[in-house]
Amino acid sequence: MTYVALLRGINVGGNNRIKMAELKQTFEKSGFAKVKTFIASGNVIFSTDETNHTELTKKIELAIREDFGISIAVLLRDFNSIDKLVKAIPSSWVNDKEIKCDVMFLWDEIDNKRILTVLPFDSMLEEVRYVPGAVLWRIDRHKASKSRMFKIVGTKLYKKITIRNPNTVRKLYQLMVET
């Protein structure tokens, strides 16, 4: 089965620095096949016969802690869940100079449509949609400074989210298709 491991909080602001070539070696050393990394924000595509997401996540987190000496939260998604997610992202939702758009991947304990009742967004200003495993967020860049969504940074809720832009998610999907 093909997976993507989304590492939370690496290579951000000079913290938790991990070179992607070394991260790839960690995954290979852990017995995973067809390992590919994509950009330095911690996206690793790999294949394995293992299917227990909880055990796979623990195995990856332990390998990272052993090889790099840091504790990194890892969110795992299989090919089918990324396939459904990519199909749910409107094709016009891109991250560019006009639009700010993010895919907020959710840890299991907050992965529920009720998440929309706790996120501080203004439906007149921005679009927010829940899809299983993620929240999709879109706002015109010139309005982004007015969004209250940024208020979640540093909260307990924020620690259960890892964010990628839709361009990255689409590229991850493409790499998974090729694996």
Distance of alpha carbon 81 from alpha carbon 1, whole angstroms = 12
DSSP letter (8 states) at residue 12:
B
Question: Which helix (H) or strand (E) element contains residue 127?
Answer: strand 126-131
| Amino acid in position 60 | I
Distance of alpha carbon 140 from alpha carbon 60, whole angstroms = 37
- What lies within 8 Å, CB to CB, of 39 at 6+ separation is 20, 168
Instruction: Give me the pLDDT at residue 42, please.
Output: 87
Q: Quick check: 175 and 113 in contact, CB under 8 A?
A: no
Distance of alpha carbon 112 from alpha carbon 130, whole angstroms = 8
Instruction: Give me the pLDDT at residue 13, please.
Output: 57
Instruction: Give me the pLDDT at residue 12, please.
Output: 60
Instruction: Give me the pLDDT at residue 14, please.
Output: 61
Instruction: Give me the pLDDT at residue 10, please.
Output: 77
CA-based nearest residue to 15, from 41, 37, 45: 41
| Amino acid in position 30 | S
Instruction: Give me the pLDDT at residue 163, please.
Output: 93
Q: Domains along the chain? A: 2-80 (3.30.70.1280), 88-166 (3.30.70.1260)
| Residues in the chain where the model's pLDDT stays below 50 | none
- The string of pLDDT tens digits covering residues 144-165 is 999 999 889 888 999 999 999 9
